[in-house]
Structure 1
Amino acid sequence: MRKRLATVAGAVLALAAALTAAPPATGAAGAPGFQVSDGRLLDANGNDFVLRGVNHAHTWYPDRTTRALQDIKALGANSVRVVLSTGDRWTRNDTADVASVVDRCKQNRLICVLEAHDTTGYGEQSGAATLSRAVDYWVSVQDALRGQEKYVIVNLGNEPYGNSGYAAWTADTKNAIARMRAAGFDHTLMVDAPNWGQDWTFTMRDNAEQVAAADPDRNTVFSIHMYGVFDTAAEIQDYVNRFVSRKLPIVIGEFGDAHSDGNPDEDAIMATARQLGVGYLGWSWSGNGGGVEYLDMATGFDASRLTAWGQRFFNGADGIRQTAREASVFGTGGDTRAPTAPGTPTATDIGPTGLRLTWPAATDDTGVTGYDVVRLNGTQETPVTSSTTTGATLTGLTPSTAYVFAVYARDAAGNRSPRSAEVRVTTAAAPDTGNCAVGYRLSDWGTSFNADVTVRNTGTAPVKGWKLEFAFPGDQKVNSAWNAKVTQEGRQVRATHESWTETIPAGGSVSFGLNGSSGTGNGVPAAFTLNGVRCAVQ
């Protein structure tokens, strides 16, 4: 089996979370930061710490990092794995940039796992860097990491071998660890498995003890990436247990709920991690491309628009909300006061399948970091979405259905407020659709986008002269258009035909395109009308 991250690398990322490792020679006492002891990862206070976090593709989306870290923290994560580049394949992240990333992680009380991504698939991926080159990079940015051992784990290189040449993984990893220690790095080191991170040859599994022993600090954590190779609970449990039973530190550094090489069992991955106290880092916050956009947890970097995978990861069983605990180095024991309850929510923009909730802000002595929207059904609560602002757009609702929602607030220490008063709302009836259907294909580049719009005439008579109207879900702005005249007022957009697209034949279609920009991410409009008649959405 093979994870072809190379086909995705321009827009995807990778990583894992951490936990156990071989016992240190002198124990954790006196260690400058994180330390492995008796197969467990301890923070600088000597407290057990289990990574529960997200991968973020900083090197490709540096302008998104500040908000991404805020949102990831607000959703309950205690760590973030940050993609960096050595400069061998992508633009190098220099010392100043690395220092800035670390500072922003600390501001958000997130443990920062930094990884060098250029090593991905070495031996099989053209242009991939060696682990030795990755060590060169870490030494070159060492000034940004010195003194940050309490807050930073260094992931030497992402998926450092593909499916060729992986037999060299053991020697190369031991050499890389030795060079890092000789250079003065006292951080916990994380090492990824070969075979595009999935270790289907068991190279890392069978050689982990000698790699751990080669670290003079006994402070190395092993990271497995679980995609299509790990599609059954038995495979997942067997692999992780083989490390835990030997008191070797293992984390699930990267995984998703689907993949092109097979369907990983994310439920078993998360359940096994909880049962064994093993860390995990999910792939990934946003910005995936190359056909694996389904790995995005947030649509267009917008925390109020979590995907099904994002909802599962943060709010589902064994997910971030249920299992993440903040590292004690941030002094969480000093803040035990919960925020006040948010004000009563108000529902607006009520449609058949969605609506907008807003609420008065909660207050807190150290500051509110986020809000959680829940659906109430009797005494049952179901997480719906989370937001870092006092509003959220809810989607995926059922037409003509009564709902009850409420909101909680959270602060940086993870304290949760009392629940707000309830708001009761009934969604609108599903409208009848006319003889038309609209397809809207979005190409999302963060602060800019293209959209290809196809208008289909599903009736038996041609449509001569047309006007298509819709609303953007966010602050998108149209900059140019082709094959149609497009005007915009606020979120409302109107497209009318050109002379050469004036007629839509019976059973036929016309297409036009948009180019635009936004400051908060892009999305697909929920509804379209053609000449005033509602169209089906394809």
Structure 2
Amino acid sequence: MRSPERRRRTAPRTAGLLVTLLGLLLPLLAVTTPAAHAAPTGFRVENGRLLEASGNDFVMRGVNHAHTWYADRISSLAHIKAKGANTVRVVLSSGDRWTRNDASDVADVVAQCKQNRLICVLEVHDTTGYGEQSGAVTLSRAADYWIGVQSALAGEEDHVIVNIGNEPHGNTGYENWTADTKAAIQKLRDAGFDHTLMVDAPNWGQDWAFTMRDNAASVFAADPDANTVFSIHMYGVFDTAAEISDYLGHFVAARLPVVVGEFGHDHSDGNPDEDAILAVTGQLRLGYLGWSWSGNGGGVEYLDMVTGFDPNQLTSWGERLFDGADGIAATSEEAAVYGSGTGEDTTAPTAPGTPGASAVTASSVTLRWGAATDEVGVTGYDVVRVTGGAESAVTSTSGTSATVTGLTPDTSYTFAVYARDAAGNRSQRSATVSVTTSPGSAAGACAVGYRVTGEWPGGFQGEVTVRNTSGSAVDGWTLSWAFPADQRITNMWGGTPAQSGSEVTVTSAPYTASIPAAGSVTVGFTGARSGSNPSPTAFVLNGADCSVT
């Protein structure tokens, strides 16, 4: 029995892991959309969202299935659908490392996906860990495979997404990911592929060096169809909610399409935070595909969702993913191309009423709007933030109100709402509402602890703990201090830094904004230095001097 080789992270957790927050990224990463040489005929990307041919927003909710090693388990697609999935990511082989899945087999997989009303994400696994894994092949070789089976995919652009190659670089040579990915995209477009393309991150899919994150805009711009989706695999590198939120938030802020193409509840390289992955993708309405249905080996059998391909024997991981909070059963919506059992309904709901704002604080606002109507019923609403005509997802709800959190004090925001129906149709946008958050609470009393947690030539890592020693909560905060001229922050998690000369200002992240009375929050960062590394001696929180502990 052939078992899939699982990914690993052999490089140390360096500054590449440390994330930059959404507020800092928005002005830096404007996406330039190239002029498409042909309008997409099926799935397409618009404004950072994956849309179906009908224009419906599509959010993947599904799992991976190791077809190339278990070709006799094609019935698994029906079982996966029965658990509520709307998508399946199918492992294929180009024949370089495993038995080639030829055009006939690929056509059968696509037919089975369609029969079971699933969207097919097809991937070539032979690229896994290229540069580090013996026998792994290039993305160019994977593109050649797709061209070789193109006859099985022609005309299936509204049912199939082509994931060019699985985890196409390990931890050696991953710097070539950007050029290799652009070239593979171009090769497929030149060959006449009009499908939405999906590209995996390097570093065994986990992008700890942020190569994909930092180059995604240029890769997207290199696609003449502007129809590429980015896929991050979340295992041991993503073991905190902050890392997950910051990484995915970066793409949302930059209006670049991203999905979690693989993740698990545990792994040999660390313990991923699966609850945070599910919660954050739910909040941002981003797709996810758990690894994997069944058949894992090599010490990661715990990643099986069912035992022995038996759909009646869910493992604890399977129960969590399918039936838990923010899981597949609770959040999956069938692709509109299948009609969702509503007689091929293509009529969108009416637009929601203009939202009204209430309970405005320094970091949150509650929005309420009039209900939309639809012939098959409204199933939910998507709240978006509108900035300069562009949109970014904020939250989703099944009701007609939502509280938006993580806002910056004394800042103007504009929001709007969309409605969704049972067939996945999306309404026109509601009228917008603008609101300005209240100024941040005065600290009253505060104490700050600063410590260096690691040093190396030319750099260091530190953390700052902000303690609220007053009797009332702090709701949104800004902390400032002075560094010597040769010290500067290069990356931060838990806050958004700004530095002018020696003056450092840090604004709270959404998940650190609230400091309860007698409570504390901690932010971490990496920095550069050329000389000694003294600690700051004075801190100011929301205009109030703090004691230093």
Is 1:37 matched with 2:30? no
Q: 8 Å contact 1:50–1:279 — kept in the other structure?
A: yes
Is 1:191 matched with 2:199? yes
Distance in 2 (CA, whole Å) between partners of 1:110 and 1:22 is 31
Is 1:276 matched with 2:276? no
Deviation at 1:11, TM superposition (A): 2.9
Is 1:61 matched with 2:54? no
What's the counterpart of residue 127 of structure 1? Answer: 135
Could you tell me which amino acid in structure 1 is paired with residue 50 of structure 2? Answer: L
**Structure 1 segment 17-96 matched on structure 2, within 5 A:** 31-65=40-74, 67-96=75-104
State the secondary structure of the residue aligned to 1:154: strand
Is 1:171 matched with 2:164? no
What's the counterpart of residue 339 of structure 2? Answer: 331
State the Cα deviation string for residues 122-158 of structure 1 (Å, max 9, x = none): 0000000100100110000000000000000000000
Q: 8 Å contact 1:221–1:251 — kept in the other structure?
A: yes
**Structure 1 segment 96-175 matched on structure 2, within 5 A:** 96-175=104-183
Could you tell me which amino acid in structure 2 is paired with residue 274 of structure 1? Answer: G
Could you tell me which amino acid in structure 2 is paired with residue 322 of structure 1? Answer: A
Q: 8 Å contact 1:22–1:39 — kept in the other structure?
A: no
State the Cα deviation string for residues 455-493 of structure 1 (Å, max 9, x = none): xxxxxxxxxxxxxxxxxxxxxxxxxxxxxxxxxxxxxxx
What's the counterpart of residue 314 of structure 1? Answer: 322
Return closer, same or farther for 1:13/1:333 CA change in 2, 3 Å cut-off.
farther
Deviation at 1:44, TM superposition (A): 1.1
Could you tell me which amino acid in structure 1 is paired with residue 113 of structure 2? Answer: C
Q: 8 Å contact 2:262–2:288 — kept in the other structure?
A: yes
What's the counterpart of residue 213 of structure 2? Answer: 205
What's the counterpart of residue 4 of structure 2? Answer: 11
Q: 8 Å contact 1:285–1:296 — kept in the other structure?
A: yes
Return closer, same or farther for 1:13/1:57 CA change in 2, 3 Å cut-off.
farther
Distance in 2 (CA, whole Å) between partners of 1:298 and 1:322 is 19
Could you tell me which amino acid in structure 2 is paired with residue 111 of structure 1? Answer: I
State the Cα deviation string for residues 25-53 of structure 1 (Å, max 9, x = none): 56999531000001100011110000101
Could you tell me which amino acid in structure 1 is paired with residue 226 of structure 2? Answer: R
Deviation at 1:334, TM superposition (A): 2.5
What's the counterpart of residue 399 of structure 2? Answer: none
Distance in 1 (CA, whole Å) between partners of 2:213 and 2:180 is 15
State the secondary structure of the residue aligned to 1:331: helix
**Structure 1 segment 439-518 matched on structure 2, within 5 A:** none
Could you tell me which amino acid in structure 2 is paired with residue 243 of structure 1? Answer: F
Return closer, same or farther for 1:318/1:297 CA change in 2, 3 Å cut-off.
same
Deviation at 1:332, TM superposition (A): 1.7
Distance in 1 (CA, whole Å) between partners of 2:340 and 2:238 is 35
Deviation at 1:331, TM superposition (A): 1.4
Deviation at 1:254, TM superposition (A): 0.2
Could you tell me which amino acid in structure 2 is paired with residue 198 of structure 1? Answer: Q
Distance in 1 (CA, whole Å) between partners of 2:262 and 2:336 is 24
**Structure 1 segment 327-476 matched on structure 2, within 5 A:** 327-332=335-340, 334-335=342-343
Deviation at 1:101, TM superposition (A): 0.2
Deviation at 1:110, TM superposition (A): 0.2
State the Cα deviation string for residues 379-409 of structure 1 (Å, max 9, x = none): xxxxxxxxxxxxxxxxxxxxxxxxxxxxxxx
Return closer, same or farther for 1:98/1:22 CA change in 2, 3 Å cut-off.
farther
Count residues in correspondence.
326
Could you tell me which amino acid in structure 2 is paired with residue 11 of structure 1? Answer: P
Could you tell me which amino acid in structure 1 is paired with residue 315 of structure 2? Answer: T
What's the counterpart of residue 229 of structure 1? Answer: 237
After alignment, is 295-304 or 27-36 more displaced?
27-36
Deviation at 1:295, TM superposition (A): 0.1
Could you tell me which runs of 5 or more consecutive residues in structure 2 were left unpaired when the two chains were aligned. Answer: 8-29, 346-421, 425-549
| RMSD after superposition | 2.3
Distance in 1 (CA, whole Å) between partners of 2:268 and 2:339 is 42
Distance in 2 (CA, whole Å) between partners of 1:23 and 1:113 is 26
One of 254, 274, 280 as aligned partner of 1:246: 254
Give me the identity figure in percent: 70
Could you tell me which amino acid in structure 2 is paired with residue 104 of structure 1? Answer: Q
State the secondary structure of the residue aligned to 2:256: coil
State the secondary structure of the residue aligned to 1:69: helix
Return closer, same or farther for 1:23/1:270 CA change in 2, 3 Å cut-off.
farther
Could you tell me which runs of 5 or more consecutive residues in structure 1 were left unpaired when the two chains were aligned. Answer: 1-7, 15-20, 338-411, 415-538
What's the counterpart of residue 287 of structure 1? Answer: 295
After alignment, is 297-306 or 29-38 more displaced?
29-38
Distance in 2 (CA, whole Å) between partners of 1:46 and 1:9 is 40
State the Cα deviation string for residues 170-227 of structure 1 (Å, max 9, x = none): 0000000000100000000000000000000000000000000000000000000000
State the secondary structure of the residue aligned to 2:184: helix
